[in-house]
Amino acid sequence: MFWNREMETIGEADLEELQLSRLKWTVAQARNIEFYQKAFSRAGVAPGDIECLDDIEKLPFTRKADLREGYPFGFLAVPMHDVVRIHTTSGTTGKPTVVCYTRQDIENWTELIARNLMMIGLTADDVFQNALGYGMFTGGLGFHYGAERIGMTVIPSATGNTKRQIEMIDDFGVTAINCTPSYGLHLAEVAEEMGSSLDSLKTAVFGAEPWSESMRAELERRLGVRAFDSYGMSEMYGPGAGFECEERDGLHIWHDCFLIEIIDPATGERLPDGERGELVVTPLVKEAMPLIRYRTGDITRILTEDCPCGRNGRIDRLSGRADDMLVIRGINVFPSQIEHTLLALPEVGDQFMVYVDRINHLDEMTIEVELNRRYFSGELADLQRIQQKVAGAIREALNLRTTVKLVEPGSLPRFEGKAKRVIDRRGAIW
């Protein structure tokens, strides 16, 4: 189902024309911000230099650190009189980032959320429990407005009080829930303890945290739902900039509102479609806080095949952060690629460690991975076969020869919170 069929299925030529006119508008809007006046003049670029979409490469990047330095209103392009709402990011490291919205910004964001929710089959007949934070975090209010716009019955449950959340699902006949994947698992656990089967639930939207395909399977089984991935960040209004359709094969990015590029995070160079790198986003219709080439730090790639749903353009689900990237013998390697490869091999578990050394001026990568318990007492020949299979799969995925060591189940460190699976022993590069 389409909320806005014309825009969701716009043809390539029309889209490019729209993107170009909106990019020119955004560059002009950004000129209201001192940071961009200076950045454009440093880069020797004027708004008139943007004549085609590829000219975006002439424009400078914007980094998260720039936004932090602009605290609180350094990136505001309109008078405060025109701002109708302020959100902030959580600010786990240093000052939070402030995001301001005009009335039109809120309207555009609402439209995108409405597209997303209708794209996964939700309608005015659905009862939508919105279990995301409603405060300064963009998740709660962002979804709230879009779901109301479709005409859904919205329950602004926010987070916490899990037993009450489950009672509401049962008592109000909730058909769709929106929360973080980790809260989804918690809900499932508490529902199981309470003996609730969550019968009415059919659909779940998960976002705000990375989550794997195996977690999707577990969430779907335990909550009895079809689960969809939601991507966004407050710099792009909030949630909903990218969303899975019913095919669940990558995230649709709303190209009329966001111009995307994939760059090599080490060099800043633009990569061809299909190659994995850092997602860079230029929002095209943001009034209060226009951004130019915002480096998201998220790693993905552009999917070039057409989606059967008929909508344009997709990116792969996010696969890690640019900060985690390793450069091994000139090849960019993301730990998430290793994890992804190992998860597909039944002979090994999901615990691994990566060591990087420089031996005789050459980078060497060693991957230690725990054997699956079922294979642990196998014959030596079996172990050699497994070792070769794992090394072959890693070579295929990374295009890189590595040393693979199989270790005893349970012998590698376990991590609470963010895992530190990579030990780079190469020291400083001069």
Residues that bind Zn ion (CB under 5 A): 245, 247, 307, 309, 311
Beta carbon nearer to Zn ion, 133 or 250: 250
**Residue among 53, 60, 23 nearest 38 (CA):** 60
Query: 163, 194 in Cβ contact below 8 A?
Result: yes
From the number of C-beta atoms within 10 Å of its C-beta (0-12, 13-18, 19+), residue 269 rates as exposed
SS3 203: strand
The contacts of residue 172 (CB under 8 Å, 6+ apart) are: 127, 129, 153, 155
Beta carbon nearer to Zn ion, 167 or 306: 306
Q: Radius of gyration over alpha carbons of the chain, in Å?
A: 23
DSSP string computed for 259-276: EEEEE-TTT-PBPPTT--
Beta carbon nearer to Zn ion, 144 or 255: 255
Beta carbon nearer to Zn ion, 213 or 247: 247
> How many whole angstroms separate alpha carbon 405 and alpha carbon 388?
10
The least distance separating Zn ion from the CB of residue 252, rounded to whole angstroms, comes to 6
The least distance separating Zn ion from the CB of residue 307, rounded to whole angstroms, comes to 3
Packing angle, helices 213-223 and 181-194, rounded to 10: 30
Residue with tokens 């402030």: 98
The least distance separating Zn ion from the CB of residue 212, rounded to whole angstroms, comes to 21
Beta carbon nearer to Zn ion, 53 or 307: 307
The least distance separating Zn ion from the CB of residue 7, rounded to whole angstroms, comes to 14
The least distance separating Zn ion from the CB of residue 247, rounded to whole angstroms, comes to 5
The least distance separating Zn ion from the CB of residue 310, rounded to whole angstroms, comes to 7
Beta carbon nearer to Zn ion, 229 or 287: 229
The least distance separating Zn ion from the CB of residue 255, rounded to whole angstroms, comes to 13
> How many whole angstroms separate alpha carbon 143 and alpha carbon 177?
11
From the number of C-beta atoms within 10 Å of its C-beta (0-12, 13-18, 19+), residue 403 rates as middle
Beta carbon nearer to Zn ion, 155 or 245: 245
**Residue among 177, 162, 160 nearest 122 (CA):** 177
The least distance separating Zn ion from the CB of residue 242, rounded to whole angstroms, comes to 11
Can you name the residues that pair with 207 across neighbouring β-strands? 230
Beta carbon nearer to Zn ion, 248 or 395: 248
